[in-house]
Amino acid sequence: MELTEKIETINLQLSDLFGIDTSSSNPIYRVVWSNDQFEYRFGTWSDFDKNDILIRTVEESRLVPKYYNKKDRYILEKLVAVPEINKEELDKKVSYEPLWVFENMDTGEYIPPHIEICKFIVRTVQEAMHRPKGFKRYVENEAKNFGFLGGDNKQERMKDIKEKLFGNETPITDALMAQRGVSYSGLDSKNPSSIVLTDKE
């Protein structure tokens, strides 16, 4: 898959910027290839032979693909504490959980990871958790600080970051992303549709 930056470089910068977990010495954030990720899960498993005949049913921990529904994608993960209710199922105290999948949200096409996008996502999530009232202003200010964004025009900068995050989108998603639109789906059960109202700037 196409890469604009080495994953090792991205992960080193994420570790330097956002730290490591002191109990496990693992970085808080990392970018991984989805196909390489497996995890032990405790559960009830049914084994079948090649003719789909049930051989046995057992309760045990098994190593299974973590992102079975997201093949061939880079994923930004965050290390989190496993809730008590899930510790027996996952058989561990901390777990890397997905924060962002690098793909076009509309078409599902592959998008290469970029350190500046990772920084934007992490800081946006952190800010949403700690400063809910000033969140919109923070996001706009953070987007302005992107050194890789071209042009002095605010709209050009926002368009550039949107394309790096989501790939090419439609006018509808443009309006929604810029908080200039309202979407309502399923007006008529026989003819589902969406209406987007945008202001004229």
Residues whose CB falls within 8 Å of the CB of residue 78, separated by 6 or more in sequence, listed in order: 28, 29, 96, 97, 99, 122, 125
> 129-157, pLDDT tens digit by residue?
776 555 455 455 555 554 444 445 556 65
d(CA 104, CA 163): 9
Which is higher by pLDDT, 159 or 43? 43
74 pLDDT higher than 80: yes
Residue recorded with tokens 């989108």: 169
Mean pLDDT across the chain = 75
DSSP per-residue letters across 168-198: S--HHHHHHHTT---EEE-SSTTS--EEE--
Residue 15: its pLDDT value, please?
96
Residue 91 pLDDT class (50, 70, 90 cuts): low
Q: Contact, 38 vs 62, CB < 8 A? A: no
> 2-60, pLDDT tens digit by residue?
788 899 999 999 999 999 998 888 999 999 999 999 988 888 999 999 999 999 999 99
pLDDT, mean of residues 70-75: 95
Within its chain, how far is the Cα of 143 from the centroid? 18
Task: Tell me the whole-structure pTM to 2 decimals.
Answer: 0.65
Which is higher by pLDDT, 153 or 183? 153
d(CA 139, CA 148): 16
201 pLDDT higher than 70: no
Residue 146: its pLDDT value, please?
47
CA dihedral 57, 63, 69, 71 (to 10 degrees): -140
